[in-house]
Structure 1
Amino acid sequence: MDYRNPAECLSLLPSLQLSKVDETHAVLSKIVGGLLDALPAPNQHLEVLEAARPVIARIQADMSSRYADHPLPPDSEENGTLLEVVNLWHNLARSYAQIARHDAQMGTLEDQRALLAQRRVHYAGQVLIEYFRAHRSLPAGLWTEVHESFAAAESTGLLRARVSDPLNTLWKAQSPMEAYIAILLVDLANPFGRTGHELLWICRWAQRFAPYCSLDTETEGRKPTVYGLDLGADHGLRPLGLLNKSIGLRSFDGSKLAGQIQAVFTQFKQGVTPASLGLGDDCTLDTSARLLVSLYRPWGLASAGRRFPRRGSRGQVELTSDWLAIGFHIQGRLFEQPRSYGLTTSFKSDMALMTFGERAPEAPSKLHGASHRSDAEKLGLVCERWNLLDQSVGGFRLEQRPHAERLEHHQLVGLKPLDGEYFLLGQVSWLMYRDDGVLEIGVYVLPGVPRVVAARPLASRPGQREPYQQAFLIPANKGLKVENSLILPAGWYRQNRVVEVFDGGKSTQLRLSKDALKGANFDQVRFEAIAPEAP
């Protein structure tokens, strides 16, 4: 097989088997790479690439699904898969650029210049997105290549010319400008803080909403918080106030997009489904609404600046994501069933419950004499130590070469700086591996000082008594503007559900009123106390 011959490549495409992912990916890589080296006639080269686009998109998605659900360490077995996927995206962007340059001398594809520009921008952006998907830091120069593809499209005068793109789920068409803006929107969406499914939806929605955004060369008089772009810099959008004046400076306007997102929420309230709004038939109403809320400000309201400015810090932070260990470090002892309810207080017999089905080491129900850390070591509940990079009132940026514990997006963690007074609760907001194998994470600290309580759903039948489970209470604090809230295991929240909470030696019935924060393994909920019935 001559992968440098367009006719032979074209005849090979129908025989490719999608079920044989690795084999098909290897063939597609040879076709794209072979034609890139051979420099065939531009029209023949373009014909092969266009015919291959659907199968390339399908196979690339299958390959990337192998690492999309968890951050990918550089020394992982799937690191080679990432490099193969990235290499194919990169060669596709180079191929469309090469066709445009080659045809500039021949003039056979004059009517395809906008398509060549749009494809080049799109595939240059896919390289960036693949690193986001793997939660890996971006290699130097990737943004520069994206900006160069945009500048090349701008020089054609066809930046806003829409071309057919069957892979664009909603519009089935896209301009080079829209392809570029879609990439910028993905970058604004905190991609390192998204799960594989969330990033997939964000990429789709970025294409859906890109037509409502614009880039302008006029930057004078704009507010410093408006997003801007420097085509000569190796990064994406930044607040204009942080950028130096240059001929490559552009201002970003997402105000129309803000109105579009508001219109989507209005239609949600009217019962319109996400699928009918072009958001996808794999998105539930609740999931779509939550994700759009998180995108509304960065996409539509420009940069708000950090609510709590970060400052560089040094030191270490103790952190654990184990539910039982979090409670142990907050209260200094293991969780036990309340004695007054006549249930067993044997730690051994209740271990399966407290660890949500996982096995844990046997231990006495009380801790005697030894230091807190020594007790934690005996029970296997020791916190890992992370280096502190910077911090704000709202959270921490930490780094560590990972050991045994594997973190997930939106997971509840317990943490305490070594010089801190309290063990606090936090949520993992983003994760990213650097090329040196060090993992960086951002942790949002839940405001307030937590304490351990025992909780259980109210029995559905008289006389039925479910065991309590460990939960956390964050008391109201006017100074911190914190309301009372409970941290319960994931899936517990249902509006108006009643739970029993044992705290401070007494039991109280609470009605859950609002889901304040939903995490991977927890629900933070608001509640109201139910007055006891009169005798």
Structure 2
Amino acid sequence: MAEEKLQFTDAPSCKAWLAKLPRSSPTQCHAELAAQVRLLLAATIAPEAKFAVLEALREPVAESQAEMARNCRGKPVPLQTHDLEAWDSVVGAWRAMASGYDALIDAMASTAPDLATQAHVICQRALRYTALAMFEHCHVYYAVNGALWQQLHRLYVFSENAGLAATTVDDTVGRRTATTTCAATYAHALLMHLAQPDALSGEELNIVDRWLERWESMVTLSPDPLAQSSVPALAVDLASSRGAGLAKNMPAAGVRHLSVETLGKALRHAAAGIKQQTPAQLGLGDVARNACEKLLLLLHVQWCAAGTGRADERTPASIKVMISSSLASIHYHLTGKAFRQPGGELTAAERQRLDMFGSLSEAGGQALASQRSAAAETWVIVNQSVSGFLGTTTEKDVVNRISHGQLVGIQPTAKKVMYVGIVQRLIVDLSGTIWIGLRIILGAPQAVSARIADGTAKYDRGLLMPEDAARKIPASMVLLPGWHQANRILNVYADSDKARKIKLQTLLDRGANFDRATYTAA
């Protein structure tokens, strides 16, 4: 294999090389770009030329990164080997860009004093690329390591000490807002990780990131504590390896206090405006009104009320449960037998068994179940409330990978009961332990067979969920993904009753492996 060599020595030769990149092959294009960025770090070319080259690389790197990130974002965890490799390559490229600009900060103090005129730009770029590497962790629900936090804090401290934190910087690469500052870029990263990213879908993460371009400058950072308030104050320890948190938990020195008063007003204004205008009219993008309102409320709680919005009290627990990660598996463990078309004919083997023994054995029925349908694995519930559980397992114990928004079934090993829940929070911590927060759909699920009432479709698995009168949630049905259409008629069959027709109504939840909707009799 030929040794990799840097293909340029200045901005003009870099642009000439970029023009020859194999854009029709995104993977090859990304690999070549990432390799050149890494080689640039060690190249013995003038710091001023490195700065110009890095600036020339920004747009092509952003485009290539966006293409490569599609290969890993939103995938179930723990990531499979090829997804993990794609994710590592994306994070590695962002970190290499950050390191390139970071090295120029050192050069300013020694071999390239003239670069000091661009110090605000160089520092903002280093902050931006560090934050982008951290953001990729959010998109695969992996915890951010302490080294990235330390790097982010160190760069911000440099901007403060150099008197550059509030200096305006032009930055349109990957952004819709044309200008920013070092302080705003730093605040953007802090707020993103305060937004409870483990509770956000990939689409919601991108929406929050886009909104923060408008709001990042509304947060101010001060070494002085804020005035007393009924809302717990937020702060960040600049010497730590973590993000912002409650000010009361921070040391006395080396802290920056976050003032979010202006941001809170903007959030409340947007939430009020949603009732009369569309999100697009308010500059919030093409987002459904209900989803926008819900997200604004969550952000206000996380940023301006220190995450004080939990409705149900949680209590510690240590309960072993079996988790079924698909509708097929949930259906199997509810019924104890393989799924069969209602009224379907017996197989030849089943007819032979019936002729010989007069019945179909339970073992025979079990054998009909596919491995996918029967698959379940042991997790531990570590705390619980009326409406949810927090569960955990380690990567080596995982059989079925878990996605944000996924439907799962939970069966305590000591009880013959099944709960159905939706993965609302998901994180793989630095030790490799997977944590999931489940929102429970209250009530006992009933396994049924359902089909679209067009006379030709086959039956498939479904669940009927009872009415939750206390929370004013009507009875609902859990379906295969993509089945919901308002007013669609379904034939529904359960072992205990005759087939009946229902009409689907409002969509309540949708995830990668299910739809859930209210219904009425048809």
TM-score range relative to shorter protein: 0.7 to 0.9
How far off its partner does 1:318 sit?
A: 0.8
Look up the match of 2:462: 471
Look up the match of 2:350: none
Look up the match of 2:324: 320
Counterpart residue type for residue 451 of structure 1: Q
Q: Give structure 1 stretches of 5+ with no counterpart.
A: 338-343, 350-362, 531-535
Report the Cα distance in structure 1 between the residues aligned to 2:267 and 2:117, rounded to whole angstroms.
35
1:238 aligns with 2:245: yes
Look up the match of 1:519: 511
Matched residue SS, 2:50: helix
Equivalent position to 2:344, from 343, 346, 365 = 346
Mapped contact 2:337–2:369 kept (Cα < 8 A):
no
Residues 356-396 of structure 1 show CA distances to partners (whole Å, capped at 9, x for unaligned) of xxxxxxx99xx97749xx96565234342223162221112
Report the Cα distance in structure 1 between the residues aligned to 2:15 and 2:456, rounded to whole angstroms.
69
Look up the match of 1:382: 374
How far off its partner does 1:56 sit?
A: 0.9
How far off its partner does 1:126 sit?
A: 1.5
Mapped contact 1:254–1:302 kept (Cα < 8 A):
no
Matched residue SS, 2:81: coil
How far off its partner does 1:218 sit?
A: 3.4
Matches within 5 A, 1:481-500: 481=471, 483-489=473-479, 490-493=481-484
Residues 71-113 of structure 1 show CA distances to partners (whole Å, capped at 9, x for unaligned) of 4646603433333322222222222222223224554234422
Counterpart residue type for residue 462 of structure 2: A
Look up the match of 1:444: 439
Look up the match of 1:360: none
Report the Cα distance in structure 1 between the residues aligned to 2:219 and 2:246, rounded to whole angstroms.
16
What fraction of aligned residue pairs are identical, expressed as a percent? 24
Residues 321-359 of structure 1 show CA distances to partners (whole Å, capped at 9, x for unaligned) of 23233133335456677xxxxxx522779xxxxxxxxxx
Equivalent position to 2:383, from 391, 394, 409 = 391
Mapped contact 2:338–2:366 kept (Cα < 8 A):
no
How far off its partner does 1:121 sit?
A: 1.0
Q: Give structure 2 stretches of 5+ with no counterpart.
A: 348-352
Mapped contact 1:493–1:515 kept (Cα < 8 A):
yes
Change (3 A) 1:217 1:168: farther
TM-score w.r.t. length of structure 1: 0.78
Look up the match of 1:208: 214
Counterpart residue type for residue 404 of structure 2: H
1:79 aligns with 2:69: no
Matches within 5 A, 1:237-316: 237-241=244-248, 243-264=249-270, 270=276, 272=278, 274=280, 278-279=283-284, 291-292=295-296, 294-304=298-308, 306-308=310-312, 313-316=317-320
Mapped contact 1:412–1:425 kept (Cα < 8 A):
yes
1:37 aligns with 2:42: yes
TM-score w.r.t. length of structure 2: 0.80
How far off its partner does 1:410 sit?
A: 1.0
Moved more, 494-503 or 251-260: 494-503
Change (3 A) 1:369 1:197: same
Counterpart residue type for residue 244 of structure 1: M
How far off its partner does 1:164 sit?
A: 0.5
Equivalent position to 2:187, from 181, 185, 190 = 181
Report the Cα distance in structure 1 between the residues aligned to 2:447 and 2:41, rounded to whole angstroms.
62
How far off its partner does 1:280 sit?
A: 5.1
Report the Cα distance in structure 1 between the residues aligned to 2:29 and 2:220, rounded to whole angstroms.
38
How far off its partner does 1:506 sit?
A: 6.8
Moved more, 289-298 or 440-449: 289-298
Look up the match of 1:121: 127
Counterpart residue type for residue 141 of structure 1: A
Change (3 A) 1:481 1:81: closer
Residues 431-455 of structure 1 show CA distances to partners (whole Å, capped at 9, x for unaligned) of 4445676544333222233233566
Residues 419-477 of structure 1 show CA distances to partners (whole Å, capped at 9, x for unaligned) of 234201011224444567654433322223323356666x69xxx79776543333345
Matched residue SS, 1:32: helix
Report the Cα distance in structure 2 between the residues aligned to 1:122 and 1:254, rounded to whole angstroms.
21
Moved more, 311-320 or 61-70: 311-320
Residues 157-208 of structure 1 show CA distances to partners (whole Å, capped at 9, x for unaligned) of 2222221001253211111122112212322344345554443333333323
Residues 239-294 of structure 1 show CA distances to partners (whole Å, capped at 9, x for unaligned) of 334x13332333334454444345445655556463x655556x566765665555
Change (3 A) 1:26 1:73: same
Change (3 A) 1:270 1:499: farther
Report the Cα distance in structure 2 between the residues aligned to 1:224 and 1:321, rounded to whole angstroms.
39
Moved more, 313-322 or 189-198: 189-198
Alpha-carbon RMSD across the aligned residues, in angstroms, is: 3.9
Mapped contact 1:135–1:431 kept (Cα < 8 A):
yes
How far off its partner does 1:406 sit?
A: 3.5
Counterpart residue type for residue 386 of structure 1: T
Change (3 A) 1:17 1:271: farther
Change (3 A) 1:435 1:185: closer
Counterpart residue type for residue 329 of structure 2: A
Report the Cα distance in structure 2 between the residues aligned to 1:336 and 1:21, rounded to whole angstroms.
44
Report the Cα distance in structure 2 between the residues aligned to 1:2 and 1:228, rounded to whole angstroms.
43
Counterpart residue type for residue 227 of structure 1: L
Report the Cα distance in structure 1 between the residues aligned to 2:253 and 2:497, rounded to whole angstroms.
69
Matched residue SS, 1:79: helix
How far off its partner does 1:511 sit?
A: 6.3
Matched residue SS, 2:62: helix
Matched residue SS, 1:90: helix
Mapped contact 1:453–1:473 kept (Cα < 8 A):
yes
Matched residue SS, 2:380: strand
Report the Cα distance in structure 1 between the residues aligned to 2:189 and 2:345, rounded to whole angstroms.
52
Mapped contact 2:323–2:379 kept (Cα < 8 A):
no
Change (3 A) 1:97 1:313: same
Mapped contact 2:467–2:476 kept (Cα < 8 A):
no
